[in-house]
């Protein structure tokens, strides 16, 4: 199964650069829904470029080819009682490491452990000229050169074809317990942020409109002590609960209404928008099922200090990502130009 | 000593200089524009004092509007700008250019807001690192990155260098602990990067700006994350008769699923110097000591510190000690924190290096450093952030001995190349600046360096922001004649290198 097709990919990109042919990078194709503007270009399949290249549990570092299935990585780490700390959503069995980093997706543990980009230590990419470049490395601390590795996280393949990625990993907690409490929405936002300001072993929070769920992770004694402090009913099927939240299989996510993701300062008060809400990340990630107009949702998010993404559903031609202010848009275009001068990598996917 | 003939490149005509100074004085108070030599001298170097250069002028704007005005002016006059915080950097990143302006952010030193609900602080770039934690302390919060210069260094400089500290393995570097930046571009435009939320639309410019060494923009405001103070902190000290045993203990602690808040190692020379200086009670006969700090919930700390003690003993520690109280904990740390000045007492001068290596390579890297030390006849003490693989070899020398600085720099360069060959990097937290500019040619290919230049040009097409630092020109690499070592693979891989 493991295969290194890096040289073939490099040749394809170099040829595309020479001919000015646009390329559409495809990994496991599990997240195509995230950005609806599918680039018009020849498909460049990277899923065959797979395999774990290096894994040193005591160094807390794993390096794998971009096409490696996320599930393979999870399984190998689990064998050594380690994990990807940002608990990435898969959104499908074919999810690859490269796609996860390209989309910068993080799951329930994100506010307490860090985001996908926080754990990227190094990347090897093919830039838009067909050059194979390596940035960062396999060490925790590295400030030589610009941080091109983290720049790849969330660039949706527009700044390079990722070949290999090195990530920091962490030990799995010895013990995890999930508690549930009945709360009102304002109260839930308030208490999640109070907890986060104290020395408590939090690892996930979610409010479904009635109940606040909180996951505690650490040594058994620490979790027990925090459980007594926080209180509430202990949830039995906690593993599948958090997996359903992460993979958006929870009942909240069903139905045809457009799904908005609002990224806000965690303690931001409840927003006065019509629809159903599900809060995660201590209040920093809020899901809204609503057919309210885009401009209204975006303005409300901006007024609260954040932004809104149309995550699923909505009109086919709708703008999904939150637009950039003009000064930043200019920088984005120049940066794209600097790395992919002919604009052949996933053209049009982001900020045309 | 000046940075290899920069003056000629930066030559400026007297007419242009006079015009620029008068234009600067039109937008800033007279006292905020320094241009005579005696006023410029305090700015001639940063913490890397081996490199000195007087700038054309130093400006001290008092607000963001003035920073923008200075940048617009320098852009019109095509004059390079070197931003400067507290000047504590160790790689010459704030070294002035002869034909350039030094832009001091020292007057922008207000803590603008502390948001206890969202656990953030919004501060100006000239605020000292430690001052943030002090201001947050009444709310039970603190700012995690703690570079050893934290009483003096400023947050703007921390962002420019992606500063670390002794708690990085658990709490990350600057890049992991900031949310938002206000940046003035080379053209004088004010942009916001990041946001008060945990993520922002578009490319991760926050990461790109962090550690960019003043090459992409001037940081004029920073919003940092604050963390709750851990309920309890405990530290254990172990002495070993062999560096390899200490290294094995580090690996075992992490393999046991413990992420220590701090994990520091010192070698024999560093231990002896520290003990003679602060009397921390370190075992002076040891080849290596390991300090392991764990923090968190009370029960977790108790459990982990017992486990750490057992692991240290199992790995052959000749002595293991746990701090009985806060006072003893502070004393154990004092020896480590005073290691640099302590080593400094052993010789007239010392030169601090900053490489990172995969932890498992430590024993062989230290062995090779010892060989190099012998070869060059210069003693080297080693202090190691063992948790994250960041090695600080301190080379002892005497600048008054003819040629000794040159030999020291050569030895330092060899040590950095050794770090690259071991699969590491030439700088873990001090930055490239002017100091490690040649070793960049060893770590990166010419295509990678060309990509860095293209990225810089996207932000600064005229090349006016701290030019000549951090990323070497390809011409310079050709002159240096460096052997590029990629992925730790040297040419002739069959030859043993250590």
Hey, what are A349's tokens? 């996917």
In a domain, A318, yes or no: no
Contact map slice: A 46-105 vs B, CB within 8 A? 56-61, 81, 104
Check whether residue A38 and residue A152 sit in a common domain: yes
Which residue in B204, B216, B486 has the most chain A C-beta atoms within 10 A of its own C-beta, making it the best mutation to test that interface? B204
In a domain, A161, yes or no: yes
| Interface pTM, i.e. ipTM | 0.97
Q: What pLDDT shows up at residue A352?
A: 59
Check whether residue A152 and residue A205 sit in a common domain: no
Set of chain A residues whose Cβ sits within 8 Å of the Cβ of B424 = 137, 139, 142
pLDDT > 50? residue A68: yes
In a domain, A163, yes or no: yes
| CB proximity A198 to B under 8 Å | yes
Q: What pLDDT shows up at residue A336?
A: 97
| CB proximity A141 to B under 8 Å | yes
In a domain, A64, yes or no: yes
Q: What pLDDT shows up at residue B491?
A: 38
Hey, what are A161's tokens? 């074809």
The DSSP string of B414-474 is: HHHHHHHHTT-BS-SSS--TTTTHHHHHHHS-HHHHHHHHHHHHHH-TT--BSTTSSS--H
Contact map slice: A 312-351 vs B, CB within 8 A? 321-325, 327-328, 331-332, 334-335, 337-339, 350-351
Check whether residue A191 and residue A98 sit in a common domain: no
Q: What pLDDT shows up at residue B8?
A: 39
Tens of pLDDT, residue by residue over A175-229, are 999 999 999 999 999 999 999 999 999 999 999 999 999 999 999 999 999 999 9
In a domain, A60, yes or no: yes
Q: What pLDDT shows up at residue B5?
A: 36
Query: Residue-wise pLDDT tens for chain B (498 aa)?
Result: 334 334 334 568 999 999 999 999 999 999 999 999 999 999 999 999 889 999 999 999 999 999 999 999 999 999 999 999 999 999 999 999 999 999 999 999 999 999 999 999 999 999 999 999 999 999 999 999 999 889 999 999 999 999 998 899 999 999 999 999 999 999 999 999 999 999 999 999 999 999 999 999 999 999 999 999 999 999 999 999 999 999 999 999 999 999 999 999 999 999 999 999 999 999 999 999 999 999 999 999 999 999 999 999 999 999 999 999 999 999 999 899 888 889 989 999 999 999 999 998 998 999 999 999 999 999 999 999 998 899 999 999 999 999 999 999 999 999 999 999 999 999 999 999 999 999 999 999 999 999 999 999 999 999 999 999 999 999 899 888 655 554 444 433 343 333
Decide: residue A223, CB within 10 A, 0-12 exposed, 13-18 middle, 19+ buried: buried
Q: What pLDDT shows up at residue B496?
A: 35
Closest chain A residue by Cα to residue B176: A118
Mean pLDDT, residues A239-249: 98
- Name which residue leads in pLDDT, B479 or A145: A145
- Name which residue leads in pLDDT, A321 or B470: B470
| CB proximity A118 to B under 8 Å | yes
Of the candidates A274, A61, A230, A229, the one whose C-alpha atom is nearest the C-alpha of residue B360 is A61
**CA-based nearest distance B217→chain A, Å:** 12
Check whether residue A165 and residue A200 sit in a common domain: no
Closest chain A residue by Cα to residue B451: A339
Q: What pLDDT shows up at residue A330?
A: 96
| CB proximity A174 to B under 8 Å | yes
Check whether residue A165 and residue A179 sit in a common domain: no
Q: Domain with A62 in it: what CATH number? A: 3.30.465.10
Q: How many domains does chain A have?
A: 2
Check whether residue A190 and residue A98 sit in a common domain: no
**CA-based nearest distance A245→chain B, Å:** 19
In a domain, A27, yes or no: yes
Set of chain B residues whose Cβ sits within 8 Å of the Cβ of A155 = 203-204
The continuous run of DSSP H or E covering B375 comes out as: helix B362-376
Check whether residue A94 and residue A222 sit in a common domain: no
Q: What pLDDT shows up at residue A102?
A: 97
Q: What are phi and psi for residue B77, nearest 5 degrees?
A: -85, -5
Check whether residue A275 and residue A288 sit in a common domain: yes
In a domain, A92, yes or no: yes
Q: Which structural domain, as residue segments, surrounds residue A209? A: 175-255+257-312
A134–B389 CB contact, under 8 Å: no
Check whether residue A102 and residue A202 sit in a common domain: no
Check whether residue A76 and residue A157 sit in a common domain: yes
- Out of B168, B228, B259, the one facing A197 most closely (by C-beta) is B228
Check whether residue A157 and residue A68 sit in a common domain: yes
Q: What percent of chain A has pLDDT over 90?
A: 93
Instruction: Say how far apart CA B302 and CA B299 lie, in whole Å.
Output: 5
Check whether residue A114 and residue A225 sit in a common domain: no
In a domain, A192, yes or no: yes
Say which residues have a Cβ less than 8 Å from residue A69's Cβ, sequence separation at least 6.
A28, A50, A93, A94, A95, A96, A97
Q: Report how far apart, in Å, the C-alpha atoms of A132 and of each of A124, A182, B261, B284, B445 are.
A: 7, 53, 37, 49, 10
């Amino acid at each position: 199964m493991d295969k290194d097709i890096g040289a073939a990919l490099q040749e394809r990109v170099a040829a595309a650069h020479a001919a000015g042919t646009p390329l559409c990078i495809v990994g496991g194709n599990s997240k195509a829904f995230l950005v609806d503007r599918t680039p018009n270009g020849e498909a460049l399949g990277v899923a065959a470029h797979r395999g774990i290249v290096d894994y040193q549990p005591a160094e807390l570092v794993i390096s794998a080819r971009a096409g490696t299935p996320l599930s393979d990585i999870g399984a190998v780490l689990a064998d050594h009682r380690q994990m990807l700390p940002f608990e990435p959503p898969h959104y499908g069995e074919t999810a690859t490491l490269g796609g996860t980093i390209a989309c910068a997706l993080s799951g329930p543990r994100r506010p307490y452990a860090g985001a996908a980009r926080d754990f990227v230590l190094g990347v090897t990419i093919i830039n838009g000229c067909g050059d194979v470049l390596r940035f960062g490395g396999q060490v925790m601390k590295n400030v030589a050169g610009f941080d091109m590795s983290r720049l790849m996280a969330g660039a949706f393949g527009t700044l390079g074809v990722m070949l290999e990625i090195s990530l920091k990993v962490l030990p799995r907690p010895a013990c995890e317990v999930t508690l549930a409490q009945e709360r009102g929405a304002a109260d839930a936002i308030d208490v999640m942020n109070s907890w986060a300001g104290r020395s408590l072993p939090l690892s996930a929070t979610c409010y479904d409109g009635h109940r606040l769920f909180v996951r505690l992770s650490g040594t058994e004694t620490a979790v027990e002590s925090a459980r007594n402090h926080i209180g509430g009913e202990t949830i039995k099927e906690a593993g599948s609960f958090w997996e359903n939240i992460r993979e958006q299989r929870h009942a909240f996510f069903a139905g045809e209404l457009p799904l908005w993701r609002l990224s806000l300062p965690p303690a931001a008060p409840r927003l006065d928008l019509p629809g159903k809400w599900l809060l995660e990340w201590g209040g920093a990630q809020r899901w809204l099922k609503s057919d309210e107009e885009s401009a209204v949702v975006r303005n409300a998010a901006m007024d609260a200090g954040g932004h809104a993404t149309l995550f699923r559903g909505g009109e086919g031609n709708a703008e999904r990502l939150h637009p950039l202010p003009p000064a930043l848009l200019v920088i984005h275009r120049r940066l794209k130009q600097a790395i992919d001068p002919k604009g052949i990598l996933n053209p049009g996917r982001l900020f045309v | 000593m000046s940075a290899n003939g920069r003056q000629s490149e930066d030559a400026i005509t007297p007419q242009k200089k006079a015009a620029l100074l008068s234009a600067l004085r039109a937008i800033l108070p007279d006292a905020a524009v320094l241009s005579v030599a005696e006023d410029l001298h305090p700015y001639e170097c940063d913490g890397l004092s081996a490199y000195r250069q007087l700038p054309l002028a130093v400006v001290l704007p008092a607000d963001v509007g003035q920073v923008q005005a200075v940048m617009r002016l320098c852009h019109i006059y095509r004059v390079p700008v070197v931003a400067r915080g507290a000047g504590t950097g160790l790689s010459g990143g704030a070294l002035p250019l002869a034909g350039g302006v030094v832009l001091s952010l020292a007057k922008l030193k207000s803590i603008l807001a502390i948001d206890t609900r969202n656990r953030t602080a919004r501060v100006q770039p000239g605020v000292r690192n430690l001052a943030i934690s002090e201001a947050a302390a009444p709310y039970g919060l603190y700012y995690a990155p703690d570079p050893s210069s934290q009483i003096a260094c400023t947050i703007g400089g921390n962002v420019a260098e992606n500063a670390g500290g002794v708690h990085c393995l658990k709490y990350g570097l600057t890049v992991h602990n900031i949310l938002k930046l206000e940046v003035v571009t080379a053209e004088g435009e004010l942009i916001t990067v990041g946001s008060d939320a945990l993520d922002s639309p578009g490319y991760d410019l926050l990461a790109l700006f962090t550690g960019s060494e003043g090459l992409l923009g001037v940081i004029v405001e920073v919003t940092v994350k604050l963390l709750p103070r851990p309920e309890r902190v405990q530290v254990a000290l172990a002495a070993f008769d062999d560096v390899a045993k200490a290294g094995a203990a580090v690996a075992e602690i992490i393999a046991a699923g413990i992420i220590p808040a701090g994990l520091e190692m010192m070698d024999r020379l560093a231990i002896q110097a520290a003990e003679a200086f602060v009397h921390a009670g370190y075992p002076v006969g040891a080849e290596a000591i390991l300090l392991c700090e764990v923090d968190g919930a009370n029960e977790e700390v108790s459990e982990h510190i017992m486990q750490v003690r057992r692991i240290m003993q199992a790995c052959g520690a000749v002595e293991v000690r746990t701090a009985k109280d806060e006072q003893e904990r502070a004393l154990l740390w004092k020896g480590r924190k005073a290691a640099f000045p302590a080593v400094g007492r052993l010789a007239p001068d010392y030169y601090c290096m900053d490489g990172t290596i995969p932890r498992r390579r430590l024993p062989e890297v230290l062995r090779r450093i010892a060989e190099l030390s012998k070869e060059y006849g210069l003693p080297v003490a080693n202090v190691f952030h063992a948790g994250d693989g960041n090695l600080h070899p301190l080379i002892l020398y005497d600048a008054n001995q003819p040629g000794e600085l040159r030999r020291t720099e050569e030895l330092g360069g060899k040590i950095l190349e050794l770090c690259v060959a071991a699969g590491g990097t030439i700088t873990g937290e001090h930055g490239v600046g002017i100091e490690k500019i040649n070793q960049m040619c060893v770590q990166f290919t010419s295509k990678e360096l060309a990509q860095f230049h293209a990225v810089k040009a996207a932000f600064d097409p005229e090349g006016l922001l701290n030019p000549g630092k951090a990323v070497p020109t390809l011409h310079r690499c050709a002159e240096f004649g460096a052997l590029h070592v990629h992925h730790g693979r040297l040419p002739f891989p069959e030859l043993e290198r250590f």
